[in-house]
């Protein structure tokens, strides 16, 4: 796994963060050292997805990156049949995903495609996965996507979301950020790397509160909602369509 040193040298001007070739090369190291409980969340989501997946339906992984969820789901499902559409608008991410699948078996069940998740049609989904991706859409466009997902899901289908969040109380938000930066330091990131990454993500990744996410899910029509994993400023939800 290539080590993420993308922000280790001072850059002036600092370009906004994007999922380009350089990021794709170090993506696994970056995400594992930047997202608390990343692997744990994927494992449990794969188990939840296997539970909610209905034969003959489709599973969508929206903002799939290089396929970390898809690979864990493949292992979780074993020989069980499924159809997954894995969607991302970063060409190097989709190229990396396809390359990865070429070395595995049973991968005809996964179809990686380069597209904007806001414009794709959702065809008979029983599970939709939206990991660390809603946060990159403009807040106004988030409502439309969650509405579209709720409308498309089969009855009893599930939406699985993970997001970076912000606390509504400024003091709590500061405390959470302090613990998050400690987590990054413990994982070997320097002060310069932490501050440059934060600056590069400003206005690119816009976190919302737990309350905003819950309200959006309810407005879309979800009634069964569980915040099943939370670590300071990261949260994962399960929302079921009745």
Ligand X SMILES: C[S@@+](CC[C@H](N)C(=O)[O-])C[C@H]1O[C@@H](n2cnc3c(N)ncnc32)[C@H](O)[C@@H]1O
Residue numbers of the site for ligand X (CB under 6 A)?
A: 19, 31, 63-65, 68-69, 87-90, 93, 116-118, 131-133, 136-137
Give me the residue whose beta carbon is nearest to ligand X.
63
**For residues 81 and 116, which CB has a smaller minimum distance to ligand X in the complex?**
116
CB of 67 to ligand X, least distance (A): 8
CB of 81 to ligand X, least distance (A): 23
CB of 155 to ligand X, least distance (A): 26
**For residues 77 and 160, which CB has a smaller minimum distance to ligand X in the complex?**
160
**For residues 88 and 208, which CB has a smaller minimum distance to ligand X in the complex?**
88
Longest CA span, the chain:
52
- Give, in degrees to the nearest 5, the angle at Cα 185 between 211 and 213: 10
**For residues 69 and 82, which CB has a smaller minimum distance to ligand X in the complex?**
69
Structure tokens at 61: 């992984």
3-state secondary structure 98-159: HHHHCCCCCHHHEEEEECCCCCCCCCCEEEEEEECCHHHCCHHHHHHHHHHHHHHCCCCCEE
CB of 214 to ligand X, least distance (A): 21
240 DSSP β-pair partners: 158, 224
The secondary structure of residue 166, as a DSSP letter, is: -
């Amino acid at each position: 796994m290539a080590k993420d040193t993308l922000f280790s040298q001072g850059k002036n001007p600092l370009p906004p963060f994007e999922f380009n070739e350089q990021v794709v090369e170090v993506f696994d190291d970056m995400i594992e050292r930047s997202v608390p409980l990343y692997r744990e969340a994927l494992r449990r989501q794969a188990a939840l997805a296997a539970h909610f997946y209905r034969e003959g339906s489709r599973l969508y992984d929206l903002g799939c990156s290089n396929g970390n969820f898809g690979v864990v789901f493949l292992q979780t499902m074993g020989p069980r049949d499924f159809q997954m559409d894995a969607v991302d608008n970063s060409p190097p991410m989709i190229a990396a995903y396809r390359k990865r699948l070429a070395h595995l078996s049973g991968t005809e069940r996964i179809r990686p495609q380069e597209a904007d998740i806001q414009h794709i049609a959702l065809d008979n989904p029983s599970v939709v996965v939206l990991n660390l991706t809603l946060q990159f859409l403009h807040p106004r466009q988030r409502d439309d996507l969650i509405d579209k997902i709720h409308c498309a899901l089969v009855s009893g289908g599930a939406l699985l979301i993970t997001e970076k969040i912000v606390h509504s109380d400024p003091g709590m938000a500061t405390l959470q950020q302090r613990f998050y930066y400690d987590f990054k330091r413990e994982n070997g990131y320097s002060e310069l790397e932490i501050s440059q990454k934060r600056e590069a993500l400003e206005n690119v990744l816009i976190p919302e509160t737990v309350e905003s996410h819950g309200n959006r899910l309810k407005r879309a029509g979800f009634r069964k909602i569980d915040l099943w994993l939370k670590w300071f400023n990261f949260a994962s939800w399960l929302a079921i369509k009745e």
